[in-house]
Each structure stands twice: as structure tokens, then as C-alpha cells.
Structure 1
């Protein structure tokens, strides 16, 4: 349920951003590539204002939907930068669709407010984790674009439009995986050794719950991917498949567990 306490400014920004995302998602070909890029940039700006207002205008809330919203915004930030370097970068419609969906979900499931006994280090811990999510999501987006480009190359009957070279997409994908792996490692180490300082009175000690198990499995998967790339030259479909597995496990680690708690079980945290 959308909270009745949502401010008019938040609702206005959310509606404008979702509408702006819907334009390139549904009518990218009709309005042309240049117009679609401009509208997507507008949506990204409105989305950023919405996130900033949500954090600064009242008591910050956090849950699976806000985490997805921030992650999508970070991916779009990467896309906005890369589209200046590679104007033929594809996937505008898909990213715009995810942006609109993330905003709607964040309105419907705004999460729980931060606990008053939590440490000021908690936002930093979450920022590391969300940044890792964003980098891995960007890697997944590049893996998807790489798979599309490879499929076009294999389909001799289809004319291939100029786009970002396959090797460039692959190189960018692994760079995002490497950066995300570093941040994920730091996030796990912080939670392991400084959990009491970070979570304050809400910390119940280290335990092997499903969130930590899925996160560790994802970390091992990404480590195997990077090792396979370095030692055995993994690339192409094999690398993308391993990336998808690691990303799915990571998604189950936090977003999946919070979704079960907040939506299926109806618990705020």
C-alpha cells in the first residue's frame, strides 16, 4: 500500500519521473534516438531528485524497493556517462522500463524507517552494499547487451546496425564485475567484524541466515568468474552465464529476503 504519509513533493517527483521513463520505454523508436536519450536524461534527473528528497526531507526509510530504486538509478548513471563516450549504446528502452518499475515499487513498498539505535555507520554500510549492487547490475546490463550483439553477429540473415564493439562491452562488463567485487568484499567484512558498531542495539550477533548464505555464494561465484577470466580466459556466453548466476544469488541475498519479509510476511524489517 502506498503510504498516506508520502509527501506531495515525493508523489509529484515520482509521478513525473515514472512518466518520463515511460516515454523512451514505450515509444523509443517513434520519437527517435536523440529525443529518447534526452527524455531518459530528464527522467534520470527527476529520479535523482526523488531519491535526494526521500533521504533529506524526512526520516530515511529502507527496504527492498528503495534498494532497487537506488540500484537502477546508479545503473542509469553509468549509462548516462557511457552514452557520451559511446553514442550508439543500446538498451535505452529496457533501462527506462526498469526505472519506471523501480519508482512504482518504491512508492508501493517504501520500507521501514531507520532504527533510532542504529549507528551513523549504518548508512555508510548500506551505501557500500548498494554501490556493489549498482556495479553488478551495470555488469549484467553490459552482459545482456553483449549477448544481443553476439546474437546479431551469429544471425547472418539480419543486418547488424552499428553499435558498441563486442570486445568493448566485454571489457566494460568485467571492469564493473571487478569493482563490484571489491565493494561487496568490503561490505561483507564490515558486517562481519563491525556488525555491533554498525547496527547498534538491533544487532543480534553473527549467524548463518539465508541473507548471509546467499551473499557468500554470490561472492564465491564472482570470485570464480574473475579467476576464470584471469586463469582460463573465460569470455562470451560462459562468462555471462556465471555473471547472471552470481547476480541472482546476490539479489536473493538482500532484496529477496526483504521482499519476503515486507511483502509476503507483512513484517516491516
Structure 2
């Protein structure tokens, strides 16, 4: 099976879903969440067989850089769709859907070298919780950007456009912290399971990932403590969220990018 045709069609559908939701946010078209979800679901159904084909190319314990990004973005898109049935997070798809499509297209055309090894139940727990933690905190980062835009607009008394399309700021912030709490629980399990079940961390070049994961965990823990003790909100919450998610992004993909892309002859 050739993954590129699936990836190309998935990208087009992801872009269509993101554009419609973006135009809805700008109040250019009426809200059609059903259409947005349908487009994204079909894109995701094309994303899955393409990912399976890519994973088949690089057997091993963990996929390489480009395949990992495509896999993680597929999970993030899926979490957005499921969570949007219960929480107002579909706007996060404006950023995440196109990134999922682009990551998939990039993965189909770029060689990816996996890490060899066997998958034990403990390592499987680490992989699953790591992936879900990344997906939820990626949504939190997109939610933080929207909260920041909404906060800035309200500060400057701009009450039209995006502000009218989004839920109230208090609701947006509550959802943001719910996402962070869920992501932190999963990230904590991922870190602990990684320390317990992954052997030869130095040989597998996972030390940087572990250190940066701890840094990301610490940043988000400070944010949650500040929220509980001092009522942190607004732009302070946005900045800490983005810093924490940024460190997590580096933890998951930074060392892979350097080893597989920059240092590979």
C-alpha cells in the first residue's frame, strides 16, 4: 500500500475542517460542528492506514522521528474530536488538524529509523501514557493561545469577532486547567513508568527526553500550584502553559530530530 495518496487526501480534509472552524471563529460562516467533525473523522480514518504502513516500514520498539510526529498528531486529532463532544475544544483543531495532515505527508516522504527492542507491558504503559499526555497537552497549548487572544481582546475592549464566537473567558480558562490536570496525571505515569521499565537509557539516547520531561512537569506543576494557591489566570497562565508544553515538545521530539535529521549523514 502506498501511504502518500492517503496522506494527501487526509491533509486536504484536515485543512477543510480547520478552515471551516477558523471561518466560524471569525464569524464568516455559520457554525457547523457536525461538518467539521465529519471532515476530521474521515481524514483520521485515512490517517490510520497510512500510519500503519509507515510503522511497517520501521519495525522496532519505537518509530523514528517523522513517523512519531505523525502518530502523535493522529492521537491529538482524535482526542480533540472525542473531547469536543463534552468540552468546547473543537477550536483547537484549527491548529492541530493542519499539523496532523502536514506531519503525515512529511512522514510518507522521509525515511524514519526506529529503535529496536521488545515491547513489555510496562513499556507499553509508558508509550500509551506518553502519547496521550502529549495529545492532551497539545490541545491545552492550543487552548492557551485562544485564551490569550480572548484575554487581549477583552483588555482592549474588543468584544466582536473571536470574542463573540468563543465561550466566556472563565469557561475557557476552566477547560484549559482541566486539560492541564489530565495531561499532568498521564505525564506523571509516563515518567514513572519510563524510569522503571526502560533499560539502557543512555544507550537509547533517552536521557535528554527524561530531563526535559521533568522540566515540563515542573513548569506545569508550578502553574497548577499557582492556580490553586494564588488564583493565577489570564496571560500568566497562558505563558506558563506554553512554556511547559514547549519543553514537553522538545522532550518528545528534540533529541529524535537532532539524532535522525541533523546528525544522520
Aligned 1:166-245 pairs, distance under 5 A:
166-196=169-199, 204=202, 209-245=207-243
- Tell me how far apart the structure 2 counterparts of residues 92 and 119 of structure 1 sit (CA, whole Å): 32
Indicate conservation of the 8 Å contact 1:88/1:164, yes or no: no
Please give the root-mean-square deviation of Cα atoms over the aligned residues, in Å. 3.0
TM-score where L is the length of structure 2: 0.81
- Tell me how far apart the structure 2 counterparts of residues 47 and 207 of structure 1 sit (CA, whole Å): 29
Residue of structure 2 equivalent to 1:17? 10
Q: Compare 27-36 and 73-82 and name the one that shifted more.
A: 27-36
The alpha-carbon distance between structure 1 residues 63 and 56, as it changes in their structure 2 partners (threshold 3 A), is: closer
Shift of 1:243: 0.9
The alpha-carbon distance between structure 1 residues 254 and 157, as it changes in their structure 2 partners (threshold 3 A), is: closer
**Alignment of 1:47 onto 2:47:** yes
Indicate conservation of the 8 Å contact 1:62/1:113, yes or no: yes
Indicate conservation of the 8 Å contact 2:83/2:89, yes or no: no
Residue of structure 1 equivalent to 2:119? 119
- Tell me how far apart the structure 1 counterparts of residues 205 and 53 of structure 2 sit (CA, whole Å): 35
Indicate conservation of the 8 Å contact 1:88/1:162, yes or no: no
Indicate conservation of the 8 Å contact 1:88/1:163, yes or no: no
Indicate conservation of the 8 Å contact 1:139/1:173, yes or no: yes
Instruction: Pick one of 252, 255, 264 that aligns with 1:254.
Output: 252
Mind listing any 5+ residue stretches in structure 2 that lack a counterpart?
none
Shift of 1:257: 0.8
- Tell me how far apart the structure 2 counterparts of residues 232 and 178 of structure 1 sit (CA, whole Å): 17
Shift of 1:49: 4.0
- Tell me how far apart the structure 1 counterparts of residues 118 and 15 of structure 2 sit (CA, whole Å): 37
Shift of 1:142: 1.1
Indicate conservation of the 8 Å contact 1:86/1:164, yes or no: no
Aligned 1:41-190 pairs, distance under 5 A:
41-52=41-52, 54-55=54-55, 59=59, 62-85=63-86, 89-109=90-110, 111-115=112-116, 117-121=117-121, 122-157=123-158, 159=160, 160-190=163-193
Shift of 1:238: 0.4
The alpha-carbon distance between structure 1 residues 181 and 149, as it changes in their structure 2 partners (threshold 3 A), is: same
Question: Number of aligned pairs?
Answer: 254
Indicate conservation of the 8 Å contact 2:13/2:39, yes or no: yes
Give the 3-state SS of the residue equivalent to 1:20 in structure 2: helix
TM-score where L is the length of structure 1: 0.80
Shift of 1:86: 6.0
- Tell me how far apart the structure 1 counterparts of residues 120 and 254 of structure 2 sit (CA, whole Å): 25
